[in-house]
Amino acid sequence: MIKPGVPAPNLAPLMGSDNLRERGGVTYREIKARSLLNRCDSPRMPFTWTVNPYRGCAMGCKYCYAAYTHEFLGLDVPEQFHSLVYVKTGAEEETTRRLGAIVRRGELIALGTATDPYQPAETEARVTRRFLETVARHHDARLGIVTKGAIILRDLDVLETIHRRSRLWVRVSLISPHADLVRRLDPWAPPPAVRIDVMRRLHEAGIDAGLGLAPILPALTDDEPSIDRLLGEVAAAGVKKMFMNVLFLRSPTKEKYLRWLAAEHPRYLEAYERAYAGRVYLHGRYPDRLKEMVRRLKRKHGFLEEEADDRSPAAVPEQLGLWP
Ligand code: SF4
């Protein structure tokens, strides 16, 4: 049971109060962690372990599904998820110790389920980098990464090593080819052209790179010409893997997203309120039509059907927020 405004008792003593870095309206603080590896026992998830090197995310996405995880820290204003980011420290020894057994058991690890592992602070903090270096010492690990961050290219060397020795998926999230719209939706994430170039460079390095078309936002990013263009640009970069999901909305993201919608696109507010009244996911003809449209566009642009194994940690991001 979370008490509003009060950190969970197991987390309160671990939260630092000194600012490690303040830049671009984002404050970074330390939070001690025993291990970066958190077990996920849900049978609905294709992975067994999640790794989130940060708590909070500076990308600032208006639809961010993970905002609620800050409530465990006593931070219940959803915007704080983007302005106060905690950097996990002290977890290396236990993470290294656990990883061997996880790899031996062939269990999937998902990196970046409740934050983006390539925060701006990662350039200095290198928490994600050190985790990848630990994975790279193993053979036959199974690791999926979801990110919007171009800083991932810094780690190309270690990703190539993991790719050679293990099974690695990387999916780069991008929901529209339109830079203006993306800047309003994901204000601190790289623009579409940069993210497509990230996919290209990962692919050229031989890594299983793909597009994360998630979440598709009703009325804003769901039109066929836009998705057609996006898939065309990604395919032109040589990338032929992708997954998609339609927006799911739960508190506190729902209130935050609807506030933004009311300010930016008020004409859609009522339809959203009706569609998401009493539900988190949309069901029925609308998502079915979208899935069919994306299937058709994937065929048009030569995308591959994801194999069972490709339902990597990246493939079900709409539910990932269940794991802080
Ligand atoms: S990149 Fe992901 S975790 Fe970060 S704000 Fe956007 S949706 Fe949330």
Q: Pick the atom of ligand 1 nearest to 149's CA.
A: 1
Residue 64 Cβ < 6 Å to ligand 1: yes
By CB neighbour count within 10 A (0-12 exposed, 13-18 middle, 19+ buried), where does 229 fall? middle
> DSSP state, 315?
S
Grouped pLDDT means (10 residues each) for the chain, 324 residues: 78 84 90 95 87 96 90 84 95 96 97 95 96 98 97 98 98 98 97 98 97 97 98 98 94 94 97 95 93 97 74 44 28
pLDDT value, residue 83 = 94
Tens-place pLDDT, residues 167-177: 999 999 999 99
Asked if 243 and 46 count as a contact pair (C-beta separation under 8 A), the reply is no
- Is the pTM higher than 0.85? The answer reads yes
Assigned CATH for 12-322:
3.20.20.70
Ligand 1 pocket: which of 63, 68, 115, 151 to mutate (most atoms <8 Å of CB)? 115
Residue 61 Cβ < 6 Å to ligand 1: yes
Q: Which pair of tokens denotes residue 142?
A: 């199974």
d(CA 118, CA 307) in angstroms, rounded, equals 27
Alpha helices in the chain (DSSP H): 80-83, 92-104, 122-125, 127-136, 156-165, 179-185, 192-204, 224-236, 253-264, 269-275, 285-300
d(CA 235, CA 228) in angstroms, rounded, equals 10
Residue 116 Cβ < 6 Å to ligand 1: yes
Q: Which pair of tokens denotes residue 210?
A: 């793909």
Q: Pick the atom of ligand 1 nearest to 60's CA.
A: 5
For atom 8 of ligand 1, the residue with the nearest CA is 64
Asked if 215 and 247 count as a contact pair (C-beta separation under 8 A), the reply is yes
Ligand 1 pocket: which of 52, 54, 59 to mutate (most atoms <8 Å of CB)? 59
pLDDT value, residue 284 = 87
64 CA to centre of ligand 1 in angstroms: 5
Question: How many CB atoms lie under 10 A from the CB of residue 174?
Answer: 27
- The closest alpha carbon to 246, from 47, 65, 17, belongs to 65
Tens-place pLDDT, residues 5-60: 888 888 888 888 888 888 889 999 999 999 999 999 888 888 999 999 999 999 99
